Structure 1
Amino acid sequence: MTMDLFSSSPRQTKDDDEPDSSEIKIYSVVEITRHIKFLIEESFPSLVVRGEASNLTRHSSGHIYFTLKDELAQIKCVIWRSQAQQMTFSLNEGMKFLVRGKLSLYEKGGYYQITVLDIQPEGIGELQLAFEQLKKKLFAEGLFSEKHKKPIPGFPETVGIISSPTGAAIRDIVSVCRRRMPSVQLILSPVKVQGDGAVEEIVRAIKDFDSYNNVDVLIIGRGGGSIEDLWAFNDEKVARAIYHCSIPTISAVGHEIDFTIADFVADVRAATPSAAAEIAVPDKSEVEQQLANLRYTLIQNIENTIGYYRDRLKHYEERYAFRRPENIVEQYRQQADGLERRMSRQVIHHIRLYGQNLKHFEDQLRTLNPRNTLQRGYTITHQHNKVVQSLRELAEKEPAVIEFYDGKSEVEIKKISR
């Protein structure tokens, strides 16, 4: 028997045992969707799924959408804004997570998804991941760079302290400071060091000290605890407040094995609050010992210098010049006389030499003088204001001047014989 689902009367076929079409229930899309939704949500009221995040979308509403996948399948996930605001780390694609939530079906899209109630990075704790992410971010911005570190003053007069007024940290800091240098003034800004409001109080205390501008060094710290207890010192707002503080800062959070973001940003990291006090305040007994050593060294240097110059003076006193100074003066006088005689001889010698050279030059000039040649019977002929050097330069029927050694004569050239 075949059946037309949209017909009210069935058509008989060979098989008479098939059910009547009037017994088949027809569902609307919303009906079957809600039925499936009910089955899914009742069957999986709570579940934990492991997978890798992909297709991450942060909506402007504050909701986070992503896909959780493994090698063979994938499922959509949503974190509502109220839950997303409580996350302490950044959700990035490619990371593997353990997701706790409830399975639901989105009716309009027709697909099922996990409504996330909690999400934990697989293989690393949530707070540890947040710590590593913030550390990487601030390092990239240069907040940990050594070039921004300020030196701790060697002899501070006033030390600022940001810590709990009732914790062991403040007692250790005060005890060490009083033992090492009782004259140092300590100013405590009491704050909460964990729990709600701790971050805001720490940031406010840092800014207050910076505005007060009357402390030489600032200790920020607390005693040991779990990563949750120390988390206020891993907050980005605390890190940036330390970075922008103009006072040299010492971070002293927890025990020696504990590291916080504040340790990396501060100018100096101390393993414990007691160690921070030792870094901030010099030991009075050590300073006194150093001063005593310097005093002894200074006295020794002065005595050695006086002894050295005393020996030199004694040496000079024993020299001949100090015993018979008039003899030294007489020797220098004789040397001066000798120099004077040598200079006189040199001057006379040079004058004679220059005179001989001058006479030699005069003889040469006299030999080259053309008038001396004229005295021997030679003449110089001029025509047209030029010296005639060749017969070819002489013009007939033209006046000329013949120069003798004792005068000139004007003539007329009548004939030229070649």
Structure 2
Amino acid sequence: MALDTSPEAPVPVAQVSRLIGGWIDRLGAVWVEGQITQLSRRPGAGVVFLTLRDPSHEMSLSVTCYRRVFDRVADVVGEGARVVVHAKPEWYAPRGALSLRAADIRPVGVGELLVRLEQLKKALTAEGLFAAARKKPLPFLPHRIGLVTGRASAAERDVLETARARWPAVRFAVRNVAVQGVHAVPQVIAAVQELDAEPEVDVVIVARGGGSVEDLLPFSDERLVRAVAECATPVVSAIGHEPDTPLLDLVADLRSRTPTHAAKDVVPDVGEEYERIAQLRDRARRWLAGYLDAQERGLADCASRPVLAYPHRMVDDRAEVVADTLARARRTLGHLLDRADAELEHTRARVVALSPAATLRRGYAVLQHPDGSAVRDAAEVTGGEQLRARVAEGEFRVTVTDVG
């Protein structure tokens, strides 16, 4: 397709278009899967026009087919249906448009969709996106609640009315999006990410009413599941009814059975909280009253004991013991003193009896030399020696006149 061109020798548009068409004509037929977003079946026209879109990306292709090809599946295929198309690329030169010419259209059955969802579920489970450890707790009383739901839908009404009935002061940041069809996935992802980025939003609710498996397929989209897994704000999934289990339920931090239950799970009931507070207050009051009664009984029991009821009794009892002990001590001491006095008198009598003074009182005298030594032998004295004589009552001097 390379051409020798220059600003002075450009190639006409028609030639370029024909060259592109020739290159595309060499392409073979392919099987393509997608979702029908636009379908045009004009009465009497032999050709049916439709747009086939990738459900996970903002990409689409135009498809044409003969009426007889589409009529084979017209009863089971419409806008929003997933189909597999066997088609060959075509280039419409006059408008420079690429399209697919379908030779066969086959609807994707529910069973096949469920098998694919189960395979995706296993893969995401292996990555840990559904693990309970990564789920975040919901705040007790959120300041602001993000709500992602369809415009003027029953799910939006149920969530808002139920939440405001339970807590009238609750505030919402509502993002209305498509909740089914080809635009659902990108719009829901954008709304969730926008609310997750708002610091005032404490929790995000993704709500939708019930529907068929095909209607709820956007909420099992891998891109949406990963976007919710990356949210820092807790996300509550309230999709369909209780039996419905899209993959969003598994990755969300909390799965609510219905949009109404989501409002009950996120917003506390002011009446119930008042009642709970009243019950806790009554329990605290009863416990405190019981505790005080028990302490009063304990004090009364202590006060009724003899040691506290008659505090002087112990002193009196001890006073008697002290008096008895003192009397016994006095008696013992008296006996000891009497015995010591008797022994002293006896010793004194013995001392008196043995005392030299007693001997002197019987008429004896003690002769002493001038130096004070006693005369024990007559040979110790000489005639004319002056001696001192001691008697019981005084002393006198004597002169030795003769020594026998």
Q: TM-score, normalised by structure 1?
A: 0.51
Aligned mates of 1:161, 1:332 — CA distance in 2: 84
Aligned mates of 1:202, 1:209 — CA distance in 2: 11
Alignment of 1:227 onto 2:227: no
Using the TM superposition, give the Cα deviation of residue 175 of structure 1 relative to its aligned residue in structure 2, in angstroms: 0.9
Alignment of 1:134 onto 2:120: yes
Aligned mates of 2:33, 2:212 — CA distance in 1: 26
The 3-state SS of whatever aligns with 2:140 is: coil
Distance 1:120 1:165, change over 3 A: closer
Using the TM superposition, give the Cα deviation of residue 252 of structure 1 relative to its aligned residue in structure 2, in angstroms: 0.5
Structure 2 counterpart of 1:407: none
Does structure 1 conserve the Cα–Cα contact (< 8 Å) formed by 2:29 and 2:86? no
Alignment of 1:281 onto 2:232: no
Structure 2 counterpart of 1:148: 134
Match of 1:79 among 25, 30, 39: 30
Does structure 2 conserve the Cα–Cα contact (< 8 Å) formed by 1:79 and 1:116? no
Match of 2:228 among 237, 242, 246: 242
Distance 1:125 1:311, change over 3 A: same
The 3-state SS of whatever aligns with 1:289 is: helix
Structure 1 counterpart of 2:111: 125
Aligned mates of 2:118, 2:167 — CA distance in 1: 38
Structure 2 counterpart of 1:254: 240
The 3-state SS of whatever aligns with 2:268 is: coil
Structure 1 counterpart of 2:203: 217
Structure 2 counterpart of 1:304: 290
Structure 1 counterpart of 2:3: none
Percent same amino acid among aligned pairs?
Answer: 35
Distance 1:286 1:242, change over 3 A: same
Aligned mates of 1:87, 1:264 — CA distance in 2: 24
Structure 2 counterpart of 1:185: 171
Aligned mates of 2:193, 2:268 — CA distance in 1: 26
Alignment of 1:268 onto 2:254: yes
**Aligned residue type for 1:253:** I
Give 1:11-410 correspondences, 5 Å limit.
79=30, 101=86, 117-118=104-105, 125-328=111-314
Does structure 1 conserve the Cα–Cα contact (< 8 Å) formed by 2:151 and 2:176? yes
Which structure's relative contact order is higher, taking Cα pairs within 8 Å and 6+ residues apart?
A: 2
User: RMSD of the TM alignment (CA)?
Assistant: 3.4
Using the TM superposition, give the Cα deviation of residue 261 of structure 1 relative to its aligned residue in structure 2, in angstroms: 0.9
Does structure 2 conserve the Cα–Cα contact (< 8 Å) formed by 1:88 and 1:126? no
Q: TM-score, normalised by structure 2?
A: 0.53
Does structure 1 conserve the Cα–Cα contact (< 8 Å) formed by 2:31 and 2:86? no
Distance 1:243 1:324, change over 3 A: same
Using the TM superposition, give the Cα deviation of residue 120 of structure 1 relative to its aligned residue in structure 2, in angstroms: 6.3
Distance 1:116 1:315, change over 3 A: farther
Aligned mates of 2:85, 2:144 — CA distance in 1: 52
Aligned mates of 1:189, 1:329 — CA distance in 2: 87
Distance 1:186 1:239, change over 3 A: same
The 3-state SS of whatever aligns with 2:168 is: coil
Aligned mates of 2:253, 2:85 — CA distance in 1: 41
Structure 2 counterpart of 1:40: none
Does structure 2 conserve the Cα–Cα contact (< 8 Å) formed by 1:79 and 1:117? no
Gaps of 5+ in 2: 1-27, 36-51, 57-82, 89-101, 326-404
Using the TM superposition, give the Cα deviation of residue 282 of structure 1 relative to its aligned residue in structure 2, in angstroms: 1.5
